[in-house]
Structure 1
């Protein structure tokens, strides 16, 4: 499960990838500011999308006489609501990540305590595990399911 390296100019929720200065400490104030920007921008995107969905659903609610049309509309609404539910859970993870930044604990693996890494955090800003611990957790999960 390799984390792709950020390409120069590739925006992460509207924010350029971070380029640490030579000798810069991991999770410096500048890095915390960088990830706070990413997480806040991502949160704003999700909230705006939820608002759009609610407005669209209000606008689209029509009492359709045809049962097939009504069923199609209900299925579309159900799909939208499932998507919004996943995003609601993601918002909680974003909030948790922002709290970790405030507490100075962001960027470190919850299982083993090592650095998660800037590129992994840019790829998945809510990551709580380093790559090795994440892979181990996925292997255990597969074994439990199998």
Structure 2
């Protein structure tokens, strides 16, 4: 049991990045109360900061390690490595934009509710994906539609 508990907390997920434990919902607690909002605000801010730090680190790494290798294979390997790093950083930038949109929703008191049907998204789903803007049912339907459209 102890090993399983340690395994869960050591996995790299949004909660562990933020250094937070899963939210413990209290009996008869109102959805998206101050404690829950603060919990998600901390998660999102920490995640955003970490992503920004990774972007800065990548840029410094590329600048510091850019070497003009005489061997074309070595040069191609380095360029491919840099290309992958930059692609990952681009994904991080897009995620930062989603995080900023979600933080704006928190400030507007519109966080935690489905954009499609307005039901509660749910604490556990939001902990797994804090930028989620659809409940699990609407997301499932959207994915089914997407699969049908792409064949």
Separation of aligned partners in 2, 1:144 and 1:73: 38
Q: CA deviation at 1:16?
A: 1.1
Aligned equivalent of 1:60, options 57, 62, 65: 65
Instruction: Extract unaligned runs of 5+ from structure 1.
Output: 1-6
* Matched residue SS, 2:113: coil
State the number of aligned residues: 140
Q: Which residue in 2 is equivalent to 1:74?
A: 79
In 2: Cα distance, 1:105 partner to 1:145 partner? 32
Q: Deviations over 1:6-57 (max 9, x none)?
A: x797370211111122111000011110000000010011011111101110
Moved more, 124-133 or 18-27: 18-27
Confirm or deny that 1:123 pairs with 2:128: yes
The CA RMSD measured in Å over matched residues stands at 1.5
Task: Select the structure that is richer in helix.
Answer: 2
Q: Which runs of 5+ in 2 are unaligned?
A: none
Residue 51, structure 1, aligned to residue 56, structure 2: yes
Point out which structure has higher relative CO (alpha carbons under 8 A, 6+ apart): 1
> CA–CA distance in 2 between the matches of 1:71 and 1:134?
41
Partner Cα separation in structure 2 for residue 141 and residue 102 of structure 1: 31
